Amino acid sequence: MLTSAAVLAAGAALPAATASAAPGRRCPAPIALQMWSLNDQAEQDLLGTLNKVAAMGYVAIESYDLYDNSPTAVRKRLDSLGLGLCSSHAPFPSGDDAKSILDTYAALGSHTLVWSLEPEEFDTRDAILRGADRINEAVVNAAAYGMRIGYHNHFAEFRNSFNGRQAYRILLDALDPRVVIELDTYWAQTGGVDPVAVERLLGRRLEYIHIKDGPATGMDDYMVPYGQGVIDVDGVARANPSVKWNIVEMDRSHYDMYWLLQNCYDYLVGRGLATGRR
C-alpha cells in the first residue's frame, strides 16, 4: 500500500488546488447507514428495515433502492422515524433514463445522487473520459432539479494508471467541479493507496466517506467489526474536516448484519468519531 508520502509523490489524488484540508475534525460528522448493507432485509420489507435502522441510532440513511415501494411512501416513513436522507445511490441520470431517475429521487427528497463507473471503464484512458462525459451530462440534468451528483469509487480507479497518471486522477481532472466526492476508504485501500492520505488530498471536495473493515483484498471480501480488519478506522474517520457524513457500509459478512451495524454505530459514536441520535 502506498504511504501518505508516496501518494503525494505519485500525484495519486486530486490536483493540488483541492488539497487544502488539514487533518483533524473539530466536530465529528454525523453517522449514516448505506442501505446496501441491509439489501437482503430491505428486499423483503424496506419500511420495516428502516424502523430497525432508526432504533440503532443512525442519523440518516444513504438509500440504495426502493424495492418496489413508492418514493413518497419511503419519504413518509423516513420522516415519521426522524431519519434523514444524506444522499442516494442511484444510476447517473444521463441518456434516455435521466428524467425517470430524477423524477423518482426528487419525490424521495434526495438532494445528492451518487454512483460509480464500472471496473471496465478504467481499462483505458479513453474509456475513463467517456465515463466522465456521462457523469458531466448527469450533473447538468440534475442541476435542473436542484440536485447534485456525487462519485463513489471502487478499487480499479487506484490500481490502474496510464502514462504514469492514476486512473482516479484522470477521472477527477475530467469531471465537472460540481461533482462531489464520496470516498470509499475500504476500496481505496484495496486499490493499494492510503485512504487517509487520499482523504486529505481531496480537500473540500470530499463530503462523504464510506467506512468498513475487513481484509481489503478484493470485491468478494467479507466485512468484520471495526478494529478487526486492516483499515485504520479511527484515522479515516478523523482525516478530513470537510467530510459531512460518516457512512457505515458492510457489503457482506459472516456476522449477523443487524448486530454488526449496531457494533459499527457503537464504535464510531462511542469513540467520538461520529455523532448519532443516542
- 82 found inside a domain: yes
- Hey, what's the cell of 203? 480537500
Range 156-185 average pLDDT? 98
- 123 found inside a domain: yes
- 276 found inside a domain: no
Binned at pLDDT 50, 70 and 90, residue 5 comes out as very low
Which pLDDT value is given to residue 1?
56
- 209 found inside a domain: yes
Instruction: Kindly state the helix (H) or strand (E) to which residue 274 belongs, with its residue range.
Output: none
Count the Cβ atoms, other than its own, within 10 Å of residue 15: 12
- 173 found inside a domain: yes
The pLDDT mean for the chain works out to 93
SS3 (DSSP) at 76: helix
- 93 found inside a domain: yes
φ, ψ dihedrals at 185, nearest 5°? -65, -30
Number of domains forming the structure of the chain:
1
- 45 found inside a domain: yes
- 153 found inside a domain: yes
- Give CA separation, 20 vs 27, 153, 200, 248, in Å: 18, 21, 8, 25
Say how far residue 124 (Cα) sits from the centre of its chain: 24
Question: At residue 213, does pLDDT exceed 90?
Answer: yes
What confidence tens digit (pLDDT) does each residue in 114-141 have? 999 999 999 999 999 999 999 999 999 9
What confidence tens digit (pLDDT) does each residue in 239-252 have? 999 999 999 999 99
Give the CATH number for residue 200. Answer: 3.20.20.150
Which pLDDT value is given to residue 142?
99
Question: At residue 17, does pLDDT exceed 70?
Answer: no
Residue 182's domain spans which residues? 4-11+24-270
- Give CA separation, 46 vs 41, 189, 251, in Å: 7, 31, 17
